[in-house]
Amino acid sequence: MNDTSTISTILLDRDGVINFDSPDYILTASQWQAIPGSLKAIARAKQAGFQTALISNQSALGRGMISQTTFDAIHAAMMLAIHQQHGSLDVVMYCPHAPDAGCLCRKPLPGMIQQALEQLDATASTTVMIGDSLRDVQAAIAAGVRPILVQSGYGDAEAILTKARALDASIAVYPDLITAMNALLDSKG
């Protein structure tokens, strides 16, 4: 499953992959700050013909930490920044539920990934999920999608990698999204 020449769809986590994350959550549009190279990576993916989708847990909504209006402003800031770099996302999916809500969409469950694959008319075998957490890896594996781990999130990257390798010994690991995207594009030829 290391061959990426057949990849046509890239699923991306948001916090820690596209933008800097915080243990205190991203609660305002001004707190949303792109990780260097991440917006260029999304633009490069689109220019190379990949379908791209956002798959993100956003429990600050379910926890009552932010309103839908504030969340929409954060999302609008992200989309504007992506568009300014000539990138786009084909599908945006997020789980607004708190961890204890019992929903089927919150990662590590595969619900959002499965929905995105349906909307994109994509197959799991031609899709990768790029995330920074064990939940991202678990959701990808549960959906039959190849996980790719980036170490640009705020968590203990080495501990996350150790746990991820216990699930997938051959998981590809990169420091950030632009490095992961460059590797995907180089292998696509």
pLDDT at 55: 98
Which residues, at least 6 apart from 39, have a Cβ–Cβ distance to it below 8 Å?
18, 81, 82, 84, 85, 87
Query: Is 37 within the bounds of a domain?
Result: yes
Classify residue 4: in a domain, yes or no.
Answer: no
Distance from C-alpha of 82 to C-alpha of 14, rounded to nearest angstrom: 12
Other C-beta atoms closer than 10 Å to the C-beta of 85 total: 16
Does residue 2 sit within a domain?
A: no
Q: Is 86 within a domain?
A: yes
Is 170 contained in some domain? yes
Report pLDDT for 187: 82
Which residue numbers are catalytic? 13, 15
Q: Count how many domains the chain has.
A: 1
**Is residue 51 assigned to a domain?**
yes
Residues of the chain with pLDDT under 50: 1-2
Strand partners, 56: 94
Looking up residue 177, the CATH number of its domain turns out to be 3.40.50.1000
Structural domain boundaries, residue 113: 9-188
With respect to residue 84, please indicate whether it lies within any of the assigned structural domains: yes
Note whether residue 1 is domain-resident.
no
Q: Report how many helices (DSSP H) and strands (DSSP E) the chain contains, helices first.
A: 7, 6
The string of pLDDT tens digits covering residues 128-183 is 999 999 999 999 999 999 999 999 998 899 999 999 999 999 999 999 999 999 99
- pLDDT recorded at residue 4: 58
- Reference 52, options 72, 77, 78; nearest CA is 78
Residue-level pLDDT at 188: 72
pLDDT of residue 167: 96
